[in-house]
Structure 1
Amino acid sequence: MSISDHELAIEAAEAGAAVVRSHYGSSLTHFPKSAGDFATTADIEAEKAILDVLRGARPDDLVVGEESGRTGTGDNGRGWLVDPLCGTVNYAVGNLLASVNVALRTGGRVAVAASADPFTREVFWTDGVAAYVRRAGGDERLEPSAHSGLVDVNLDPPFPNGDVFSAARMLADESFTERFRPRVVSTTLAVAWVAAGRRAAYVTDGQLRDSVHFAAGIALCEAAGCVVTGIDGQPVHTGIGGLVAAADEQTHAALLTLVRHQGRRRD
C-alpha cells in the first residue's frame, strides 16, 4: 500500500469535493429516490470520482456508495462508506452547506475518515488516533469546545423513536433555549463541526449503523475526544439508536436530560 488509509480518504473526499464545486450554480438534473429525496448530477459524478480514487488504490476493498450501492466483495474485512454530497437539497437551491464524506471500516470499527467542505476547501480527517482539519496544505488538530452553546439538530425524517424523542419538541423546551442556541444546517458537516469546536453538540434520531452520512462525522468526534452516544445514553449504534455528539460531558449530560424529559412527559 503506497498511500496510507487516512491520506487515501482525504484524497477521495477532495476528489468528490472538486466535482461538487465544479457543478455549483449549474443546471442540475434531479434523479428522484424517495419522497422528498433526490440525487443530482453532482452527487453521481462526485461519487464516481471518489470511487475511482478508492478503486485505484484499494481494488480489493468493499465500497458502499449512497448512489451506486455495494461494489466489491469485502472478503478482506475492509469497507468504505461514501456519501458524495451530504446536503443535496441545500446544494440544489444554491446553499453552500454541504459535505463530502468518506470513511473506512475495518474490524467492525470506523476509524479512518474524511469530511470535506467543498466551498471552504477544508477537510476534516482522522487516522483513528486523533482528528485534524487540513486547509491550504497544513494540518491543525481539532479541539472540541462547548463555548458557543450552538447545538445542531437534525429535523429530517425518519423518526424511529418519535414516541420518546423529537428534535422539534426539544427545540420548544424552555430548558433547551435557556442553555443552548439551536441551529439546523441539514448536512452532517455539522457533526464535524462538533469535533472542530464550532458546535457544542449535534443531536439526531435514526438508526445510524453503517450510515454513509454519519460514519465520518462520528469517527471524527470520537477521535477528537467528544462524548458520543445514542439518544438514550448508550454506546453509539446500540440501544434505541440516534446520536448525541457533544464537546464535553456537561453538554452531553444536559442534552440527555432533555431527551429523557420528553420520555417522561409522554408516559
Structure 2
Amino acid sequence: MASANLNVMIKAARKAGRGLVKDFREVENLQVSVKGAGDFVTRADREAERVIKEELMNARPSYGWLGEETGEEAGEDPTRRWIVDPLDGTTNYLHGLPHWAVSIALEHKKEIVAAVIFDAAKDEMFIAEKGTGAYMNDQRLRVSGRTRLTDSIFATGIPFAGRGPLPAALQDLAQLMPVCAGVRRFGAASLDLAYVASGRFDGYWERGNKPWDVAAGILMVREAGGFVHGIRENDDPLESGRIVAANPTLLEPFAKIIRARD
C-alpha cells in the first residue's frame, strides 16, 4: 500500500499529466511556427510545474522544493524536499513525439525515499518507495536478468547544441557499441531509468544530468533490484549528474567501459 506522501505525488503527477496530454494534442498544429510551438510548450511546462507545486506544497507546506522551472526554495523542514521535473523530454514533446514524463521525487536527509515517473502519453505510472519495491501500474518491476553485454541494450543521452561533453559521449559509444546489442537515445532520462527498472533497458549512463532529471529514477532502479553509481566511483550520482545504472551482473563490466575516460 502506498504511503500518504506517495499518494500525494501520484495525484499531482496525474493532474499535471492530464493537462500536458491535452496540450500535447495541440503541438502538431503549431509546427508551422517553431517559435510559436516553442512558446506553447514552455507555457505547458510551466503550467505543469505550477499544478504539481500547488498540489505538493498544499499537502506538505513545510517541505522544501527544487523544480526545474522555479528553482530551489528552503522549507521549514530542512530534512525534506520535493525534486520535480514537470516535463522531462521537452524536445520530444515539442516535436510531437509521445515519449516524455512527469518526474517527482521526495528527498529525506539527502536520500530519495519516494518516486513517481508518469508517462502520461502511454498511461504508464512508475512508482517506488524506499524498502517497498518499484511498480508500474501495479505490476512489480525487476531489472533484467541478462548477464552478457552482447545480449544487452543500453540507454544514454548524447549532448547537443554545445551542451555537455560530446567527445566523451562519442568515445563511450565507440567502446560500447561493438560489445553490446545496441544503444538507444530516447531523450528523457527519467524514462531511461524507469526502463532500466522494468528490464526494458539493461543499463543507462549519462553525464551532465540535473537532480530533477534522475532523482526519481535512481530510487526506481534500486527498488527494482538494480545498482546506480556515479561514473566516477566516489561520486554521488544525484549531486554530480554523472550516472551509470544497470542490473547487478552487468554493472561492473558496463561501468568499466564508461569509466575508462574518467
Specify the TM-score bucket, using the shorter chain as the normaliser: 0.7 to 0.9
In structure 2, the partner of 1:78 is 80
Partner-residue secondary structure (3-state), 2:58? helix
In structure 2, the partner of 1:154 is 157
- Structure with the larger helix share: 2
Partner-residue secondary structure (3-state), 1:25? helix
Give the unaligned 5+ runs of structure 2: 31-35
Q: Closer, same or farther in 2 for the Cα pair 1:262/1:65, shift >3 Å? A: closer
In structure 2, the partner of 1:186 is 187
What is the letter of the counterpart of residue 231 of structure 1?
A: I
Question: How far apart, CA to CA, are the structure 2 residues paired with 1:260 and 1:69?
Answer: 31
Question: How far apart, CA to CA, are the structure 2 residues paired with 1:144 and 1:220?
Answer: 10
In structure 2, the partner of 1:228 is 228
Trace 1:134-153 onto structure 2 (pairs within 5 A): 134-135=136-137, 139-147=138-146, 149-153=152-156
Q: Which one is further off, 84-93 or 5-14?
A: 5-14
In structure 2, the partner of 1:126 is 128
Question: How far apart, CA to CA, are the structure 1 residues paired with 2:130 and 2:122?
Answer: 24
Trace 1:39-78 onto structure 2 (pairs within 5 A): 40-71=42-73, 73-78=75-80
Q: Closer, same or farther in 2 for the Cα pair 1:50/1:66, shift >3 Å? A: same
What is the letter of the counterpart of residue 75 of structure 1?
A: D
Question: How far apart, CA to CA, are the structure 2 residues paired with 1:104 and 1:239?
Answer: 15
What is the letter of the counterpart of residue 217 of structure 1?
A: G
What is the letter of the counterpart of residue 190 of structure 1?
A: D
Q: Is the 8 A contact 1:145 1:200 kept in 2?
A: yes
In structure 2, the partner of 1:21 is 21
Question: How far apart, CA to CA, are the structure 2 residues paired with 1:45 and 1:241?
Answer: 26
Q: Aligned to 2:38, which of 30, 34, 42?
A: 30
Q: Which one is further off, 230-239 or 147-156?
A: 230-239
Matched, 1:96 2:104: no
Question: How far apart, CA to CA, are the structure 2 residues paired with 1:215 and 1:49?
Answer: 19
Q: Closer, same or farther in 2 for the Cα pair 1:134/1:238, shift >3 Å? A: closer
Q: Closer, same or farther in 2 for the Cα pair 1:64/1:6, shift >3 Å? A: same
1:39 Cα deviation after fit:
5.8
Q: Is the 8 A contact 1:77 1:106 kept in 2?
A: yes
Aligned-pair identity (%):
28
Trace 1:155-234 onto structure 2 (pairs within 5 A): 155-156=158-159, 158-159=163-164, 166-173=168-175, 175-188=176-189, 189-206=191-208, 208=210, 211-234=211-234
Q: Closer, same or farther in 2 for the Cα pair 1:59/1:94, shift >3 Å? A: same
Q: Which one is further off, 52-61 or 94-103?
A: 52-61
User: What is the aligned length?
Assistant: 245
What is the letter of the counterpart of residue 246 of structure 2?
A: A
Q: TM-score, length-normalised on structure 1? A: 0.83
Q: Which one is further off, 98-107 or 233-242?
A: 233-242
Q: Is the 8 A contact 1:62 1:73 kept in 2?
A: yes
In structure 2, the partner of 1:34 is none
Question: How far apart, CA to CA, are the structure 2 residues paired with 1:225 and 1:234?
Answer: 21
Q: TM-score, length-normalised on structure 2? A: 0.84
Give the unaligned 5+ runs of structure 1: 32-37
Render the CA deviation track for 1:175-224: whole Å, top value 9, x for unaligned.
Answer: 5332231000010211111011110001001265xx11110011111222
